[in-house]
Amino acid sequence: MSTVKVFNAGHTACSGCGLSLAARLVMEAAGPNVIVSNSTGCLEVFTTRSPQTAWGVPWVHSLFENSGALATGIVAALKMQGKENEARVMAFGGDGSTADIGFGIISGMWERGDDVLYVCFDNEAYMNTGIQRSGLTPFLGATSTSPAGSVTGGNQKQKKNIPMIAAAHGVKYVATACVGYQRDLQNKIKKALAIKGPKYVQILATCPLGWGNDSSLTIQMGKLAVETGLFPLFEVEEGKITNVMNVAKPKPVEEYLKLQTRFRHIVKNPEEVAKVQAIADANFKRYTKDKVLF
């Protein structure tokens, strides 16, 4: 390992934070020759507080919804300086930044075909501001703005399918990854960075505080999300599914739900659990190797 670290310890993430683990894995896979544009959110907040920074690579934060456009500007500037081969450019955003407020920006970046790896750190809510729902909050998951009320229980919408939306844009490489499968995650980042053009990787990152799981379960939660079928891991290259993480014996979603207080209101209700199970079952059918999507 090099002496200069790309992502340093000493930041202020919560214990068991899947996001800080995911970010470290991404950065170690990417190495020092990258420039990062980071949207507002937990990652930006826990890694910087002027004059301190956890970042060992050139890093910039501007706003909640513009890391994609910043990356475009950075790529353009590198090109004008004749340095396009000196550094790869990555844009980071949380699920809220990616699926909601910054979505138009990201769509624009993909449409232009900019040579940027966009990484969405998906902890399934606006964690930085106190666990409000986002477009990537899971079906029936309780958040502080989709609470488990007596009439409606939790988030009434399914996760927005950003990977498929990315693929529909003609993004060259689309992948999902998860802190439960670290080598897989790092391979995907390396593979993505070797490709010229737009790339999108969405990483499921456990958030003990927001999900209400034990902070020792960060890795397990990731594994369970995949093993139940709720967060399938796959790769899409040039519009075709080229790889799907095989789950030999799918686990019932209940095993995943019961470990998190955000699903506390449904675990004792078989009808509601069945609805979530149906999503997982559909995912296994939807994401199959060699399927041509576009």
Partner 1 sequence: MKKVTEGLKAIAETVALCRPEVISAYPITPQTHIVEELSVIVANGKLKCEFINVESEFAAASVVLGASVAGVRAYSATSSQGLLLMAEVLFNMAGMRLPVVITDANRAVSAPINIWNDWQDTLAIRDAGLIHLFAEDNQEACDMHLQAFKIAEDHEVMLPVMVNLDGFILTHAFDPIEFPEQALVDKYLPKYVPMEKLDVKNPLSFGLMGGPDRYLETRYAMAETMKTCPAVIRKAAQDFNKMFGRNYGELIEEYKMEDAEIVLVSMGSIISSMKDVADDLRAAGKKVGVLKIRCYRPFPVQDVIKSLCGKKKAIILEKALSIGGVGILTADIKAALYGQKNVPEISDFILGLGGRDIRISDIKAIVALAEKANLKGEFYGLDPKLVEEMDK
Ligand X SMILES: Cc1ncc(C[n+]2csc(CCOP(=O)(O)OP(=O)(O)O)c2C)c(N)n1
| CA separation for the pair 249, 228 (Å, rounded) | 9
> x/- string (CB under 8 A) for partner 1, residues 107-126?
xx--xx--------------
CA–CA distance from 167 to each of 83, 149, 193, 241, 274 (Å)? 28, 36, 17, 10, 29
If one asks whether residue 196 binds partner 1 (CB under 8 A), the answer comes out as: no
Nearest of 134, 139, 147 to residue 64 by alpha carbon: 134
Confirm or reject binding of residue 58 to partner 1 (CB under 8 A). Answer: yes
Per-residue burial over 260-277, b if 16 or more Cβ lie within 10 Å, else e, is: bebbebbbeeeebbeebb
The interface with ligand X within residues 114-133 (CB under 6 A) comprises 121, 123, 126-129
16: partner contacted, choices ligand X, partner 1, Mg ion, none (Cβ within 5-8 A by kind):
none
Quote the tokens at residue 183.
């080598």
Q: Cβ–Cβ contacts within 10 Å for residue 251, how many?
A: 16
Nearer Cβ to partner 1 (197/212)? 197
Stretch that binds ligand X, among 22-30, 95-103, 151-159, 240-248 (CB under 6 A): 95-103
Stretch of residues binding ligand X (CB under 6 A), selected from 36-44, 72-80, 252-260, 279-287: 36-44
Q: Three-state SS for 55?
A: strand
53 binds partner 1 (CB under 8 A): yes
Q: Tell me which of partner 1, Mg ion, ligand X, none is bound by residue 107, counting a contact when its beta carbon lies within the kind-specific cut-off of 5 to 8 angstroms.
A: partner 1
184 binds, among partner 1, ligand X, Mg ion, none (CB under 5 to 8 A by kind): none
Does position 40 interact with ligand X (CB under 6 A)? The reply is yes
DSSP letter at 158 equals P
Which residue's entry shows tokens 């075709």? 240
In this chain, which residue has its C-beta nearest to ligand X? 94
For residue 176, the minimal CB distance to ligand X (Å) is 16
199 three-class SS: strand
Task: Give contact residues for ligand X (rule: CB under 6 A).
Answer: 19, 40-43, 64, 93-97, 121, 123, 126-129, 134
